[in-house]
Structure 1
Amino acid sequence: MRNSTVRLLCVVTALAAAAATGCGEERRPHGTTRVGDGERPGGTQERARRVAEAWDGSTAADVYRRGFYPMADVVETPENAFRNGADKEAYLTRNFGLRGELPASDRDEGEVAWADGRSLTLPMMDARETLAKLDRDSGGGPELVVTGARLGTMKLVTSRGPATVPAWLFTLDGYDTPLKRVALDPSEKPESPIGPAADSPSNEQWPLQQFVRTSRDGRSVTVLAGHGSCDKGPAADVLETDGSVVLSGWIRDPSDGDCTADLRFTEVTVKLAEPVGDRVLLDAFTGRPVPYGDHAGGMPDEG
């Protein structure tokens, strides 16, 4: 794994989906909830309102609702993984080796099939391309050995609800069940109708690192947020409308003293007034959807 000053998080995520909300409905804030200790900075809610107003009913929101955007890890580990610490380290660092042949695919496209009957056809990766998405470590250390693969499917939670998607099922040496990886890339994200809050983050407005999960009932959202070594960690406010859930990240009680320059990541959970459903989950600082996807290995900050 590439050297880094930060430790990343590997999580399996889940999202509870609800019925679709029309893009043209009146925007109606449902209220806000503050998470974390310390004095809440001013200005976070005004920025969140501007982001919500820009997105709600926009072309970007319509494009987002019609696309394929995973809201869970696109990798599913074998049952009872992992058998030892070395294999776990190999997975967290994404260090894979290949011993054997990978099959060719006779399909260039794959279909995302949602539970409500909707579907979307997208370009599909072959087994070798998909394995390359998994194998990120160019160094030494323990590795998981892939001995073969076959094309199958996996269940995945998306921004439009649960779906069945094409996946490559990789056989791993020493495991009876496969490691699955989605064979599709997400749809291209639409251009945001609003720019970032500033050229660089501040303690009062801080970008979120990535989406982690929601609760089973969809009434809380957990994200990964960055912070420094001399503060009390990150926090987040939320502004809900009919079309969006806007999260505003900020830093609790920052210190002006001497601190190391490393960036730490901590999970922040925000309670919602209503299930997130198919509302667009937005980062107030960037003005864009909260990042998601194939989570890299590592552990969160324990502070």
Structure 2
Amino acid sequence: MRRFTALLGVPLILLAACARTDGSAPGGPGGSADRWAAFQQRADEVADAWRSAAGRPQWLAGYAPLQSPTVLPGDPGFTSETEQAFHAGWYETQLELPTETPADGTVSFPDGTLAVPLISAADAYATIRQGDPPQCPPDQSTPGRPGPDPTATSPAGAASDGPDDSVASGQLGGCQVLTVTAVTLGSVDLLTSRGTAQVPAWLFETTELDTPVARVAVADSVNIATPSPEVDQATDLTDFVVAQDLTSVADVDLGYRLGVGACDSDITPFVQEYADAVVVSGSVVRTGEVCTDQLLLHPVTVTLDEPIGGRTVLDAVTGQPLRLVPVG
């Protein structure tokens, strides 16, 4: 029996493909007419279930973010150390961050606007700062940053300075932090339940990055919960895999990642468009071989007939809306 449990960030095959959206079967052995018919039937079921999902009217009228509230609005010019610091949330600042709550802000959707309460710069900073690097070699330590912890990897708290401990081997990474030098209230593009919106955000300038780190300034209390449509198990999609998340949303180009097995081949994206939704998935050819117990994230792209606009992207297997997780 095949089981998929481990997530690997690097897919086996970095191959992008496009699916047809004109009703014909995608090309190649993975896109047979039978598979296309099975996918279309399932896509219709998922789209119908989405339209009747509890809470959907509120979700489409309010504010429901579909990506992380921490955004890089431009090219950060990452090094390996600064990228690690960004993802780990290692920041420091000598600024006196404003603690006052600003007046209500405005989220600008493609179909209208919404007044929303905001959080202070200090509260926003508290959400992006997740702590300090776990270990710093002594020659890299600076005031305000942690030095080496001689008890971190030793049993019963005993000190260790041998060559096999994690500090000596570098297993716990470096000491780089991101130094905040200024903060302003601005806005950032964010994928929401009503399409890509302009959302109020605190913009943190840092010494180490070429673009600010934007943290959405909208109070969490206004976030609308994502509806969960009720769909039957996809018994007719035995050769289809789950779309895990979105990687890019730009006009008619849609990128997403499929969860595939190590022995799967002929990975083919499928997409079906509706006026209010886009349903995606992907088919694979199973080899029947005994494979390693892992799930690989395989990126694909499709070209839509119409711009995505405010339509929700749904996975055909689970029926659930997909979130945007930019990669690369």
Indicate the percent of aligned positions where both proteins have the same amino acid.
27
Given residue 257 of structure 2, which amino acid in structure 1 is its aligned partner? L
Give the Cα–Cα distance (whole angstroms) in 2 for the partners of residues 87 and 263 of structure 1: 28
Offset, 1:36: 6.9
Q: Radius of gyration: which is bigger?
A: 2
For the residue of structure 2 that corresponds to 1:245, the secondary structure is strand
Aligned to 2:200: 166
For the residue of structure 2 that corresponds to 1:38, the secondary structure is helix
Aligned to 2:223: 187
Offset, 1:210: 0.9
Residue by residue over 1:82-116, the C-alpha shift from the partner in whole angstroms, topping out at 9 and shown as x without a partner, is 2633223333x434132435431324854313366
Relative to structure 1, the CA distance from residue 225 to residue 5 in structure 2 (aligned partners, 3 Å threshold; closer, same or farther) is: closer
Offset, 1:193: 3.4
State whether residues 151 and 169 of structure 1, in contact with CA within 8 Å, keep that contact through their aligned partners in structure 2: yes
Give the Cα–Cα distance (whole angstroms) in 2 for the partners of residues 37 and 133 of structure 1: 46
Given residue 98 of structure 1, which amino acid in structure 2 is its aligned partner? E
Relative to structure 1, the CA distance from residue 75 to residue 31 in structure 2 (aligned partners, 3 Å threshold; closer, same or farther) is: farther
Please give the TM-score of this superposition, normalised by the length of structure 1.
0.71
How many residues matched? 269
Aligned to 2:158: none
Offset, 1:151: 4.0
Relative to structure 1, the CA distance from residue 288 to residue 133 in structure 2 (aligned partners, 3 Å threshold; closer, same or farther) is: farther
State whether residues 244 and 256 of structure 2, in contact with CA within 8 Å, keep that contact through their aligned partners in structure 1: yes
Q: Give the structure with the larger helix fraction.
A: 2
Aligned to 1:38: 30
Give the Cα–Cα distance (whole angstroms) in 1 for the partners of residues 202 and 80 of structure 2: 25
Higher alpha-carbon deviation: 271-280 or 220-229: 271-280
Are 1:178 and 2:212 matched, yes or no? yes
State whether residues 119 and 217 of structure 2, in contact with CA within 8 Å, keep that contact through their aligned partners in structure 1: yes
Residue by residue over 1:125-147, the C-alpha shift from the partner in whole angstroms, topping out at 9 and shown as x without a partner, is 65345553464887442333233
Offset, 1:254: 2.0
Listed as ranges, the matches of 1:91-240 within 5 Å are: 91=86, 93-100=87-94, 101-107=96-102, 110-114=105-109, 117-122=112-117, 124=119, 126-133=121-128, 135=130, 139=134, 140-142=172-174, 143-158=176-191, 159-175=193-209, 178-184=212-218, 185=220, 187-195=223-231, 197=233, 203-215=238-250, 218-232=251-265, 234-240=267-273
For the residue of structure 2 that corresponds to 1:260, the secondary structure is coil
Given residue 7 of structure 1, which amino acid in structure 2 is its aligned partner? G
For the residue of structure 2 that corresponds to 1:259, the secondary structure is coil
Relative to structure 1, the CA distance from residue 261 to residue 203 in structure 2 (aligned partners, 3 Å threshold; closer, same or farther) is: farther
State whether residues 258 and 281 of structure 2, in contact with CA within 8 Å, keep that contact through their aligned partners in structure 1: no
Give the Cα–Cα distance (whole angstroms) in 1 for the partners of residues 24 and 65 of structure 2: 26
**Structure 1: 5+ residue runs without aligned partners?**
10-28
Offset, 1:235: 3.1
Give the Cα–Cα distance (whole angstroms) in 1 for the partners of residues 22 and 322 of structure 2: 20
Residue by residue over 1:156-210, the C-alpha shift from the partner in whole angstroms, topping out at 9 and shown as x without a partner, is 14343443322122232345753222223583334333236359x9753432111
